[in-house]
Amino acid sequence: MKVVVVGDGKVGGTIARLLSAEGNDVIVIDKNTKALNQAQNTMDIIAVEGNGASLSVLQKAGVRSADLVIAATSADEVNLLCCLFAKKLGADNTIARVRNPEYFFQMGMIKDELGLSMAVNPEMAAAHEISRLLRFPSALKIEPFCRGRVELVELKLPQDSILDGVPLYQLPKLLKVKVLVCAVQRGKEVFIPSGDFVLQGGDKINITGSHVETARFFKAIGMFRDSVKSVMILGGGRVAYYLAKELIPLKIRVKIIEMDRERCEYLCEELPEAVIINGDGTDKELLLEEGLEMTDALVALTGMDEENIVVSLYAKAKQVSKVIAKINKISFDEILDSLDIDSFIAPKTIAANNIVRFVRAMQNSYGSNVETLHRLINEQVEALEFIVRANSPVVGIPLKDLKTKKGLLIATIIRGGKIIIPGGEDAMEADDHVVVVTMEHTFYDLKDILK
């Protein structure tokens, strides 16, 4: 596919990298010469220097023959104008990054008027993910499938876990829960495990199952924590705003600490139920004075990764039960994994993965499209949701007889709202939702799992 990406910032650069790695022809437009040179040196792309909202620049980039144009600059208005021009020039599909709440809450009308295929709001997507983690704080990450009916949950087993030394085939009998361990990280190694795989304390594992069964699993292994009742948020930016909007209706007490006085006044008007503090969230005396040691959770959302990490570590030292830090640079995976912080959130990666899912579905309009896509364990593993079509070659064949590629697992089958943790005798049927976990990054259709 030919994809034009306008904007080579954090989100645009991540999108370009992922789509280029999947074999798409990617053209990147940006006004920053240095950023474009860096992109060309590190990715297989074509760079076009200029204003992405200029008709001449879009024509130079070949938008007329583009399958998809993604506008991901830092300015919403530029992104919307770029998509409008791209459609007028003949681009098949357009995606705009829109961050302003005033625009996003009227996105339905904007999409219709401009012919947008999709609108992406990284900050809102990050807020959704944080909200899920606060409602189920036992997990490090939660990835929803089938509109939330099934969840893929990441956790780290303590060194003294009751699962240390237990092979996976014994879990149903030992714990009496219906979940499936579908990916394991042990040090630098990653496994898609078979039933004979033996767990060890310290393993980071991903399990799939219904919300009820997942909660039962955490209770059975002694790691269950109740949902939070109070949250302290550092930084009053867009993620904090969207997050507060989600938490307040759930009767969760929200306190936001923000340095900019004008932003505090805006938040006070928009979020009257929240407590807004004008101050430095990195000042430990202020944190203690505002009740850090008594809050259920701390979410660090400042614009500086270093500040978020340091304050999060301090919160863990003060025994705050759930700590979440927003990060922009995710290239130091080994360091982040070693830190005593419950969860990290990277808005640009969440947005980029949503766009990759859309692109994969575009490339297969008539088969078993990718409905949902999540990347796990530092992007080494993918979990994909497909809908099984009646003409799919996998229909009706018991899983034990399916000749599938190595390094993948059929993790869950959802049939008519019923969740099935599949065994060898189970078979996929038409209209099933199926979750596949794999170490490959080239699945566009359900039939791609076959040898």
Which of 73, 94, 120 terminates a domain? The answer is 120
In a domain, 169, yes or no: no
In a domain, 215, yes or no: no
Write out pLDDT tens, residues 143-200: 999 888 899 999 999 999 999 999 999 999 999 999 999 999 998 899 999 999 999 9
**Dist. CA 253–CA 393, nearest whole Å:** 51
In the chain, % of residues over pLDDT 70: 98
In a domain, 136, yes or no: no
pLDDT of residue 141: 93
In a domain, 429, yes or no: yes
Write out pLDDT tens, residues 44-64: 999 999 999 999 999 999 999
Domain CATH for 440:
3.30.70.1450
pLDDT of residue 331: 61
Identify whether residues 27 and 116 lie together within a single domain.
yes
Identify whether residues 403 and 298 lie together within a single domain.
no
Which of 56, 86, 120 terminates a domain? The answer is 120
In a domain, 417, yes or no: yes
Identify whether residues 311 and 379 lie together within a single domain.
no
> How many alpha carbons lie under 13 Å from residue 309 in its C-beta half-sphere?
15
Identify whether residues 31 and 78 lie together within a single domain.
yes
pLDDT of residue 400: 93
Identify whether residues 299 and 374 lie together within a single domain.
no
Residue 410 and residue 178 in contact, taking contact as beta carbons nearer than 8 Å: no
Write out pLDDT tens, residues 398-431: 999 999 998 899 999 999 989 999 999 999 999 9
In a domain, 158, yes or no: no
pLDDT band at 350 (very low <50, low <70, confident <90, very high): confident
Measuring CA to CA, how many Å separate 321 from each of 124, 232, 276, 318?
24, 12, 22, 9
Which of 105, 120, 135 terminates a domain? The answer is 120
- 298: which strand partners? 232, 323
Gyration radius from the chain CA atoms: 23
Residue 246 and residue 131 in contact, taking contact as beta carbons nearer than 8 Å: yes
**Dist. CA 403–CA 173, nearest whole Å:** 28
**Dist. CA 444–CA 361, nearest whole Å:** 7
pLDDT of residue 357: 82
Identify whether residues 304 and 399 lie together within a single domain.
no
Give the angle 103-19-444 at the CA atoms, nearest 5°.
100
pTM for this model (two decimals): 0.88
pLDDT band at 334 (very low <50, low <70, confident <90, very high): low
In a domain, 271, yes or no: yes
Domain CATH for 9:
3.40.50.720
Sign (positive or negative) of CA dihedral 22, 27, 30, 35? positive
In a domain, 135, yes or no: no
pLDDT band at 375 (very low <50, low <70, confident <90, very high): confident
Residue 5 and residue 22 in contact, taking contact as beta carbons nearer than 8 Å: no
Identify whether residues 106 and 50 lie together within a single domain.
yes
Identify whether residues 316 and 364 lie together within a single domain.
no
pLDDT band at 332 (very low <50, low <70, confident <90, very high): low
Q: Does residue 107 surpass a pLDDT of 60? A: yes
Domain hosting 238: range is 230-320
Whole-number average pLDDT of the chain: 92
pLDDT of residue 333: 66
Write out pLDDT tens, residues 288-303: 999 999 999 999 999 9
Identify whether residues 114 and 7 lie together within a single domain.
yes
Between the CA atoms of 42, 47, 50 and 56, what dihedral angle is there, to the nearest 10 degrees? -160
pLDDT band at 362 (very low <50, low <70, confident <90, very high): confident
Which residues fall within 8 angstroms of residue 21, CB to CB, at 6 or more apart? 441
Which two three-digit tokens encode residue 275? 């407590």
Burial class of residue 90 (count of CB atoms within 10 Å of its CB; 0-12, 13-18, 19+): exposed
**Dist. CA 273–CA 230, nearest whole Å:** 13
Identify whether residues 376 and 316 lie together within a single domain.
no
3-state helix vs strand vs coil in the chain, percent to 5: 35, 25, 35
pLDDT band at 373 (very low <50, low <70, confident <90, very high): confident
Sign (positive or negative) of CA dihedral 163, 164, 169, 174? negative
Domain count across the chain: 3
Which two three-digit tokens encode residue 224? 């269950």
Identify whether residues 266 and 372 lie together within a single domain.
no
Identify whether residues 7 and 113 lie together within a single domain.
yes
Rounded to 5 degrees, φ, ψ at 134 are -75, -30
